[in-house]
Amino acid sequence: MKRVTPAGLARGAAVTAAGLAFPLLVTAPYLMTIAIFTVMYAALATSWNLLGGFSGYLSLGHAAFFGVGAYAEAIVFTHIGIGGGYRPFAMVPLIGLGVAVAAIPIAIVFLRVRGATFAIVTISLLFIVQLLAFNLRSLTNGAQGMSMAIPPFPVATYERPFYYAMLAVFLGSVLCCWIVSTGKLGLMLFAIRDDEDRAHGLGIRVTAAKVIAFCVSAGLFAMPGAIWAYYEGFIYPQFAVDPLVTIGAVLMAFLGGRGTIWGPMLGALILVPAQQYLAYSQGASQLYLIGYSAVFLVIMLLMPRGIIPSLRDLAVSHNPFDRPAGNGESKPSTSGVSP
Amino acid sequence: MHLIVQAAILGLLTGGVYALMASGLTLAFGVMRVINVAQGAMIVAGAYVSYTMFTQLQIDPFVSIVIMAPAAFVVGVAVQLVFLRPLRSDEREELSLLVTWAIALGIEGILGIFYQTTLRATRPSYVNDSLTLFGYDVSVVRLAAFAASCVILVLLYLMLQHTRFGRAIRATVQNPTAASLLGVESNRVAAYGFGISVATATAAGAVFGMITPFNAGSHYDLISRLLTIIVLGGMGSLGGAVIAALFMGMSEAILAVEMSPTWASLWFFVILVLVLLIRPQGLLGTPERGKL
């Protein structure tokens, strides 16, 4: 497996350039807000994919880590007093690292079960964190929420620092996914996804691989939460620990293609602007829930493997010299992850 | 001591309702390996329908069960045919979680549009009555809710044990391949099984609406409890789910009295983590074999 392909390098460079250039071309604040959320969900979906897409362990509780990231930022801001301006951004990597370390015992306990049981116990993680945010009043201020001072950034380019911070986290997540998927850990995770018992029988240290993937994924998932909390300036339990964050990230990863590098970003690029537009124009959160539900059901029924794998199959099946054995219906192949 | 026994009685009665709620969930998992995350939303939907029947048509909530359950059965069969059957069998277990979660969001959204977010409760004339048994107060509504849950659970048990269809369901739970080789139509069993599961959810919803105020968002709280119950009982085991539900109902009520109600909600998750550490297959579950 070649680690760096020209096509892959070109894709990475193109996405980075487009991401960096966007705020210079577009300055309307509401468009920048949409862009921040799009990049945030691209980062979330990409880091969820590191566990859910590569190892096949569907975590439905990742929003808990997002919430922990958000609360960690607010707590550091309020109780430790790191100061305003750009300084809170410096905490983001530390928070990511802290959450990844804190996730080790959680991963060891939760990864004792597989398949659907794993997915449903991760849901409980969400409610645990929400309950803690409500009940640890001295730290989190309970239901009243926590606020952070608005930073003194110039009004015309107020969103830029948040946008670039999100972009940095997103590109970092993509880099992590790429390093994992082209390395030994990736091979171990793909083997686990396809047949965990056989992988174990072949001497792969499945628990270690799963725990590492879980913790990296959790740490990456917490970082956008920290930036988001600073951007919103005010958080409270239901807002910061929201099941819709998980659902959004999972939906985007499925739409784009789970287990691929760029699929989750593609899903976010398609869904988040539509979602933000709906939220602005309709306002009603109920309609928004129904829209989410409808899109999800349609994707699951019509394209359960996502856009990128489906397109790749289409491209392959139209090439008479390169027809895969199991026609388009076969399971996602384990031979690595391209686009 | 008096307070603790009082709490235990209350918890036992609540646990009976949890048992009814969890029975459908564990049945659906046993028969088709589908985890119905929308179970909580379906319970809340049942509570709303029963509430509306009571406030608009003055139909008693217990009577509304008899009207709703057949309709819910048909809805369940339809949901199974449209959303769950098309999923590929090797991925059904995991994808069904996402599909049913999407259904739950849809139900939450629709209920939110019709009823807004105000907390509601079905309050029939006898809601504040209570009996005194051996010096302990027992609310009539909770007792009746417990009794109704027991009746439905017994009917469910009798159907599983003594009818041809019940045997087909049990055969499918034990070994789907062998069952279909012996002539069990697995598609039909799956559809009817899901229908029954939804029917029990709405029946449980009607009694839930009388004992707890609810709104469209209540389903998250419900489903997180129910999932803990079926993991504790052993996924797919009906008996395990009933035992786990009664245990959780009682222990939560006692903890709420002894400690504080806010921390008692965490108890479910403490139990969940303990189960994972000590006995991941649950009380009456079988250890995971192969790729579960």
Each residue's pLDDT, cut to its tens digit, for chain B (292 residues) gives: 778 888 888 889 989 999 999 998 888 888 878 888 899 999 999 999 999 999 888 888 888 888 999 999 999 999 999 888 888 777 777 788 888 988 998 998 898 888 877 888 887 877 777 777 777 777 888 888 888 889 988 998 898 888 888 888 888 877 778 888 888 888 888 888 899 999 999 999 998 988 888 888 888 888 888 988 988 888 878 888 999 999 999 998 888 888 877 777 788 888 888 888 888 777 777 655 433 3
Q: Provide the 10 A C-beta neighbour count for residue B136.
A: 14
Right CATH number for B2-124+142-278 from 1.10.533, 1.10.3470, 1.10.1660, 1.20.1740? Answer: 1.10.3470
User: How many CA atoms are closer than 13 Å to the CA of B207, on its beta-carbon side?
Assistant: 29
Cβ-Cβ contacts under 8 Å for A321 (sequence gap 6 or more): none
Interface contact flag, B280 A196, Cβ < 8 Å = no
Provide the angle, in degrees to the nearest 10, between the axes of the packed helices A206-232 and A29-52: 170
d(CA A166, CA A46): 13
d(CA B255, CA B220): 21
User: How many CA atoms are closer than 13 Å to the CA of B289, on its beta-carbon side?
Assistant: 4
B63: distance to nearest CA of chain A, Å? 31
d(CA A172, CA A97): 13
Q: Pick A114's closest partner by Cβ from B35, B113, B288.
A: B288
Interface contact flag, A254 B227, Cβ < 8 Å = no
Interface contact flag, B93 A109, Cβ < 8 Å = no
Mutate to test the interface with B, among A106, A123, A302 (most CBs of B within 10 A): A123
Q: What Rg value do the Cα atoms of chain A yield, rounded? A: 20
Confirm if B40 and B220 have CB atoms less than 8 A apart: yes
Q: For residue A119, what pLDDT band results from cuts at 50, 70 and 90?
A: confident
Does the pLDDT of residue A328 top 70, yes or no? no
A159: distance to nearest CA of chain B, Å? 31
pLDDT for the residue numbered B286: 66
Q: What residue of A is the nearest CA neighbor of B224?
A: A124
Q: How many residues belong to chain A?
A: 339
Does the pLDDT of residue A326 top 50, yes or no? no
Q: What Rg value do the Cα atoms of chain B yield, rounded? A: 19
d(CA B65, CA A199): 49
pLDDT for the residue numbered A285: 66
Q: For residue A283, what pLDDT band results from cuts at 50, 70 and 90?
A: low
d(CA A237, CA B253): 25
Specify burial of residue B70 (Cβ count, 10 A radius: 0-12, 13-18, 19+).
Answer: exposed
3-state class (DSSP) for residue A81: coil
Q: How far is CA B38 from the centre of its chain?
A: 10
Using an 8 Å CB-CB cutoff, list chain B residues near A116. Answer: 29, 33, 35, 93-94, 96-97, 235, 292
3-state class (DSSP) for residue B262: helix
A178: distance to nearest CA of chain B, Å? 25
Q: Where are the beta strands (DSSP E) in B50-157?
A: 130-133, 136-139
d(CA B179, CA B186): 8
pLDDT for the residue numbered A324: 47
d(CA A163, CA A22): 10
- Angle at A177 (CA atoms; ends A171, A182), nearest 5 degrees: 125
pLDDT for the residue numbered A215: 95
Using an 8 Å CB-CB cutoff, list chain B residues near A290. Answer: 105-106, 109-110, 113
B273: distance to nearest CA of chain A, Å? 7
- The 8-class DSSP code of residue A77 comes to I
d(CA B279, CA B248): 17
Q: For residue A179, what pLDDT band results from cuts at 50, 70 and 90?
A: very high
pLDDT digits (tens, 9 = 90+) for A124-170: 888 889 888 988 888 888 888 888 888 888 887 888 899 999 999 99
Q: Pick B93's closest partner by Cβ from A113, A115, A134.
A: A115
Interface contact flag, A116 B95, Cβ < 8 Å = no
Interface contact flag, B105 A301, Cβ < 8 Å = no
Using an 8 Å CB-CB cutoff, list chain B residues near A55. Answer: none
Interface contact flag, B95 A123, Cβ < 8 Å = no
B282: distance to nearest CA of chain A, Å? 11
Does the pLDDT of residue A231 top 50, yes or no? yes
d(CA A31, CA A207): 43
Confirm if B269 and A124 have CB atoms less than 8 A apart: yes
Q: Kindly state the percentage of chain A with pLDDT values over 90.
A: 32
Q: How far is CA A177 from CA A261, B242, B249, B251, in A?
A: 7, 43, 43, 44
pLDDT for the residue numbered A329: 41
Q: What are the tokens at B211?
A: 């004992």
Q: What are the tokens at B10?
A: 């209350």
